[in-house]
Amino acid sequence: MMRQRSIFTFHSWRTNVRVRFALADADTYDITLETLYNNTGPSQKTTATKAELMGYYKDMNVIRRMEIACDNEYKARNIRGFCHLYDGQEAVCTGVEAAVTRDDDWITSYRCHGVAYSRGCTVEEIMAEQFGYSNGVVKGKGGSMHLYKKDSNFWGGAAIVGAQVPVGVGIAFANKYQAEEGEKMNVSMSFYGDGAANQGQCWEAANMAKLWGLPALFVIENNEYGMGTSTHRSSALTEYYQQGNIIPGVQCDGMDVLAVRECFRYAKDYAASGNGPMFIEVKTYRYHGHSMSDPGLSYRDREEVQNVRAQRDCIASLQDRIVGQGWATEEELKQVQKDARKFVTAEVKKAKQGSELPLHEIYTDIYHKEIPEFIRGAEMATSAYNGKSTM
């Protein structure tokens, strides 16, 4: 296994200085981070305990197995509709969750399974949601793209590209509005893709966030493609963390869970302390095609994917660190992988024991003061007038 060095890059337009900071080699976890602004930037070391690393390793394996289970269930036609998988990107959600608290808000795109797991949704709930069953995280009413967990301040799962970004900034506004004077604020993190990053609504939201000094993090998960379009074909600027103009930006290696964690510890503190927003670019990669209907090989070749798997994979590089440190043997880590697989299989089984909600449930969970008279379903059989089927 090739060892990767992890890079933090901080960019300040004010000083127009770009500094690259290398994490120390994989078997030590100290990182040296220097100034971003006014010599007050992240100058710290990081240490990770065995328990932390083993925890991240387990979680990342569970997410990967869960995504493989989604793939299988989709192909078996037990999951229908849109389904976007997150394998390859596991270090992002795992590292972020390790850095922030659940009082901080998180909103993301349709590629939301990993985030939902990190925010505390069970695998059973995530799978059942995709089966359309009532034991799903939102009772089977949302599906793959609309996972939520209100009690962990996880606000979805948005299917419209970029739509979550202004909503996330609205949440940041609420956080500032409701915060006690002088106290640290909860931050609101809007995650979006490289394909969304040049949308007008993202720029507008960033402008407002800066203008009003909101505790907002603009987090671009750069997995190199928006559907089948590579970043180089769609974006004049491919270093997305520089998009903020006068908003500072941070770039981190999204295939390194510790780099993600440190990056978000820093960014959270920056935004929570009243310094305003920050742009973050997390450099990651997705192994699957864009969605289940995309084999993912017409715009990139097999070799590219294989190279990322061989050289940058987030689970393999963490494994390398743990073994290098002598905290576990390869056999022990293989056992963790086996356990994750067994666990996910059992959760899928539990999920399958669920069932669909009755039809009248389409009248509930609607953001409307009174029960509406008419509900239009996908077809006549699922539409209803005054509670009665129109068929």
The residues that touch Mg ion, with contacts defined as CB under 5 A, are 193-195, 223, 226
Measured CA to CA, the distance from residue 364 to residue 386 in angstroms comes to 13
Whole-number Å distance between alpha carbons of 254 and 194: 13
Q: How far is the CB of 368 from ligand TPP (least distance, A)?
A: 25
Shortest Å, Cβ 130 to ligand TPP: 17
Which x/- pattern, by CB under 6 A, does the window 309-348 give for ligand TPP? ----------------------------------------
- Least distance between ligand TPP and beta carbon 111 (Å): 4
From the list Mg ion, ligand TPP, none, partner contacted by residue 196 (C-beta under 5 to 8 A by kind): ligand TPP
User: Between 54 and 196, whose beta carbon lies closer to Mg ion?
Assistant: 196
- Count the site residues for ligand TPP by CB under 6 A: 15
| Alpha-carbon span 335 to 201, nearest angstrom | 46
63 lies in the site for ligand TPP, by CB under 6 A: no
| Given 61, 109, 153, 319, the residue binding ligand TPP (CB under 6 A) | 109
289 touches ligand TPP by CB under 6 A: no
* In contact, 136 and 142? CB cutoff 8 Å: yes
Q: Which residues pair with 217 in a beta bridge?
A: 189, 278
**Does 111 engage in binding with ligand TPP (CB under 6 A)?**
yes
Q: Give the residue closest to ligand TPP by C-beta.
A: 193
- What span, in angstroms and rounded, lies between the C-alpha atoms of 361 and 105? 28
Q: Look at residues 273, 262, 206, 292 and name the one whose alpha carbon lies nearest to residue 23.
A: 262
Report, in Å, the least distance between residue 32 CB and ligand TPP.
31
Instruction: Give yes or no for a contact between 148 and 86, defined as CB atoms under 8 angstroms apart.
Output: no
CB of 293 vs ligand TPP, minimal distance in Å: 11
- CB of residue 290 vs ligand TPP: minimum separation in angstroms? 6
Closest CA to 121 of 59, 51, 189: 59
Q: How is 164-231 classified by DSSP, letter by letter?
A: HHHHHHHHHHHHHHHSPTTSPPPPEEEEEETTTTT-HHHHHHHHHHHHTT--EEEEEEE-SEETTEEH
Which residue, 147, 139, 155, 134, is CA-closest to 82? 147
Write the binding mask 208 to 247 for ligand TPP: x where contact by CB under 6 A, - elsewhere.
---------------x-xxx--------------------
Q: How far is CA 338 from CA 86, 114, 288, 333, 341, in A?
A: 20, 19, 22, 9, 5
Contact with ligand TPP (CB under 6 A) among 115, 137, 161, 167: 161
Q: Tell me which of ligand TPP, Mg ion, none is bound by residue 289, counting a contact when its beta carbon lies within the kind-specific cut-off of 5 to 8 angstroms.
A: none
Bridge partners (DSSP) listed for residue 187: none
Please say which residue, 60 or 375, places its beta carbon nearer to ligand TPP.
60
How many whole angstroms separate alpha carbon 244 and alpha carbon 202? 10
Binding mask 184-203 for ligand TPP (x = CB under 6 A): --------xxxxx-------
> Cβ closer to ligand TPP: 251 or 319?
251
Binding site for ligand TPP (CB under 6 A): 109, 111, 159-161, 192-196, 223, 225-227, 290
